[in-house]
Amino acid sequence: EVQLVQSGAEVKKPGESLKISCQGSAYTFSNSWIAWVRHVPDKGLEWMGIIAPDDSDTQYSPSFHGRVTISADKSINSAYLQWSTLEASDTAMYYCSSRPRDVSVGPYFDFWGQGTLVTVSS
């Protein structure tokens, strides 16, 4: 069963804006962190930021702070990653993932979306 579903691939020009989405369920969004991860081939994976949809508590990795905005709408179990001004260097696959906020005791889930490929080219 697919737990997180991401929006489709995007092709944009430098300077354009973009908002991609990640939709889950109450199970994956309540009491959870939703994370965004960037994957550039040959550069590996990078955690960009996390948001708790319950209270919109958001934390950004310093590498991405000010470059992207992470938001969520708890009412529809959706999270978003947006850029106001895209650059060619933003070309990458972007994944969302979900895990509980409290992981101190016992096993805990870790779900990933299928990824959204963003291509920025003139």
Partner 1 sequence: DVVLTQSPVSLPVIVGQPASIFCRSNEGLVFSDGNIYLNWFQQRPGQSPRRLIYKVSSRDSGVPDRFSGSGSGTYFTLKISRVEAEDVGIYYCSQGTRWPWTFGQGTKVEIK
- What is the size of the binding site for partner 1 (CB under 8 A)? 24
Distances in whole angstroms, Cα of residue 111 to Cα of each of 17, 18, 42, 84: 27, 24, 23, 28
Residue range at the interface with partner 1 (CB under 8 A); choices 10-18, 24-32, 38-46, 79-87: 38-46
Q: Which is nearer to partner 1, 37 or 118 (CB)?
A: 37
Cβ atoms of residues 89 and 117 within 8 Å: no
Cβ atoms of residues 92 and 38 within 8 Å: yes
Residue range at the interface with partner 1 (CB under 8 A); choices 14-22, 69-77, 82-90, 113-121: 113-121
Distances in whole angstroms, Cα of residue 95 to Cα of each of 36, 38, 39, 88, 111: 6, 6, 8, 18, 10
Q: Does 100 bind partner 1 (CB under 8 A)?
A: no
Give contact residues for partner 1 (rule: CB under 8 A).
Answer: 35, 37, 39, 44-47, 50, 59-63, 95, 97, 103-104, 107-108, 110, 112-115
